[in-house]
Amino acid sequence: MGERIPIGSDHAGFELKEKIKARLAEKGFDVDDVGTFSTDSTDYPEYAKKVASLVGAGKTERGILMCGTGLGMSYAANRFSGVRAAVAWTPEIATLARNHNDSNVLVIPARFVAEETALEILDAWLEAEFEGGRHSRRVSKIEIETEEC
Ligand code: RB5
């Protein structure tokens, strides 16, 4: 069985989620669809929390989310310690989100990217590696230490 990867969307991302799921299955991933399961109106934080809690707890290495703009999903997912959810609207941004920011959740703005672009974003993000080095220092500074509060 391939790497388990949780994926979630709200109603705005539902149709794209189905396409992304198919691409992930083709690539051999064990896709864990946390919903939503239709285009009926629903609330994005519910799905962001399901995916981000798995990634934040280290139960899966990475996850994928979609909503209309990508913003609501990223706000909700980034509240989980250890989660770095990146909104990517081009393949180049997806690659840099891995290379420089060690993104572990990909967020796609479903209403603002064509399906073909979304699949290119997915492929770019899955294939890119974190470069480490100076970026490790910067990424480590993202987590808020208790004494800073
Ligand atoms: C739903 O209409 C829309 O608000 C949602 O998908 C997302 O864009 C929120 O950030």
Determine if ligand 1 sits within 6 Å of the CB of residue 71. Answer: yes
For the Cβ of 80 lying below 6 angstroms from any atom of ligand 1, the answer is: no
How many domains, in total, are found in the chain? Answer: 1
To test ligand 1's pocket by mutation, which of 9, 10, 66 has the most ligand atoms within 8 angstroms of CB?
A: 10
| CATH code at position 92 | 3.40.1400.10
Q: Is 67 touching ligand 1 by the criterion CB < 6 Å? A: yes
Ligand 1 centroid to residue 86 C-alpha, Å: 16
Please tell me the predicted confidence (pLDDT) of residue 92. Answer: 98
Mean pLDDT for 56-79 is 98
- CA 50 to CA 145: how far, in whole Å? 24
Q: What is the pLDDT of residues 68-94, one digit of tens each?
A: 999 999 999 999 999 999 999 999 999
Range(s) of the domain holding residue 38? 4-148
Cα(113) to centroid of ligand 1, in Å? Answer: 14
- Is 100 tagged catalytic? yes
Give the CA distances from residue 75 to residues 27, 30, 48, 108, in Å, rounded to whole numbers and listed in that order: 28, 26, 9, 13
Dihedral sign of CA atoms 56, 60, 66, 70 in order: positive
Decide if pLDDT at 147 tops 80.
no
Confidence (pLDDT) at 148? 72
Separation between Cα atoms, residue 87 and residue 67, nearest integer Å: 10
Atom of ligand 1 at shortest distance to CA of 75?
10
Residue 145 clears pLDDT 80, i.e. is over it: no
Q: What is the mean pLDDT of residues 102-127?
A: 98
Whether 48 shows a pLDDT value over 70: the answer reads yes
To the query of whether residue 149 is one of the catalytic residues in this protein, the response is no
Mean of pLDDT values over 16-32:
98
**Residue 143 confidence (pLDDT):** 86
For residue 137, the SS3 value is helix
Contact 31, 84 (CB under 8 A): no
Does residue 130 sit in helix, strand or coil?
A: coil
As a whole number, mean pLDDT of residues 13-24 equals 98
Give me the pLDDT at residue 131, please: 97
How much is the average pLDDT of 48-76?
A: 98
Token couple for 127: 């294939």
